[in-house]
Amino acid sequence: MSQLEEMLAYNQQFVKNQSYRPFEAPSRPTKKMTIVSCMDCRLIELLPKALNVKNGDAIMLKSAGGMVESPYSNTMKSILVSLYELGSEAVYIIGHTDCGMHGLHAHKMIDDIKKRGVADQKFAEVLEQGVDLDQWLNGFQSVEDEVQKSVSIVKNHPLLPEGTPVIGLVIDPKTGEITPV
Ligand SMILES: [Zn+2]
């Protein structure tokens, strides 16, 4: 059975057995909070459990490193949608130790892309779009600094509702311990 077939077979049983019952929730976050965190697979369950966040409690946004890269990135747009259209009232930016983006240099990723056989001509196409890969694919050197940077981008956004708390945290992906930045 392929992975997809396996998932679909499981899903049929999930629905049939009404296993969704414990997850029923309103579509607006009851704790009125938006969480931006890393896509790291160890955080799927650990992060919400460590914060006592359940289905329906919060808006969860994920990206590589949990970074808000620029004031007009997709993540920032999602934050604004959560605040204006979904009833959220606070933003938590949560980085984590041992992150894959920590120490990631664009040149390493460009090498890895080339090793997979992506031709130089494809890189030229990206360049033509005005994308600076060296900047776009770069990770960070300090998770605390990165969280601080994201917090400042959100805090200083001209469209942020006045008085919105924007809080930076770091989670340990092994123990779930949360430290304020
Ligand atoms: Zn990460």
Q: Is residue 97 part of a domain?
A: yes
Q: Is residue 31 part of a domain?
A: yes
Distance of CA 43 from the midpoint of ligand 1 (Å): 9
Distance of CA 121 from the midpoint of ligand 1 (Å): 30
Q: Is residue 11 part of a domain?
A: no
Q: Would you state the structure tokens that stand for residue 173, as one six-digit string?
A: 């992906």
Q: Is residue 71 part of a domain?
A: yes
The CATH number covering residue 164 comes to 3.40.1050.10
| Strand, helix or coil for residue 37 | strand
| Neighbouring residues of the ion ligand 1, judged by CB less than 5 Å | 38, 40, 99
The pLDDT profile of the chain, 181 residues, written as one tens digit per residue, is 899 999 999 999 999 999 999 999 999 999 999 999 999 999 999 999 999 999 999 999 999 999 999 999 999 999 999 999 999 999 999 999 999 999 999 999 999 999 999 999 999 999 999 999 998 999 999 999 999 999 999 999 999 999 999 999 999 999 999 999 9
pLDDT of residue 111: 94
Distance of CA 175 from the midpoint of ligand 1 (Å): 15
| CA–CA distance, 156 with 121 (Å, rounded to integer) | 39
Q: Is residue 161 part of a domain?
A: yes
pLDDT of residue 1: 87
Q: Is the pTM of this model over 0.95?
A: no
Q: Is residue 125 part of a domain?
A: no
Q: Is residue 109 part of a domain?
A: no
Q: What total of structural domains would you count in the chain?
A: 1
Report the binding-site residues for Zn(2+).
Answer: 38, 40, 96, 99
Task: State the residue range of the domain holding 50.
Answer: 26-104+139-180
Place of tokens 């050197």: 141
**Spacing of C-alpha 136 from chain mean position:** 16
Q: Is residue 64 part of a domain?
A: yes
Distance of CA 174 from the midpoint of ligand 1 (Å): 12
pLDDT of residue 99: 96
What lies within 8 Å, CB to CB, of 114 at 6+ separation is 120
Distance of CA 144 from the midpoint of ligand 1 (Å): 13
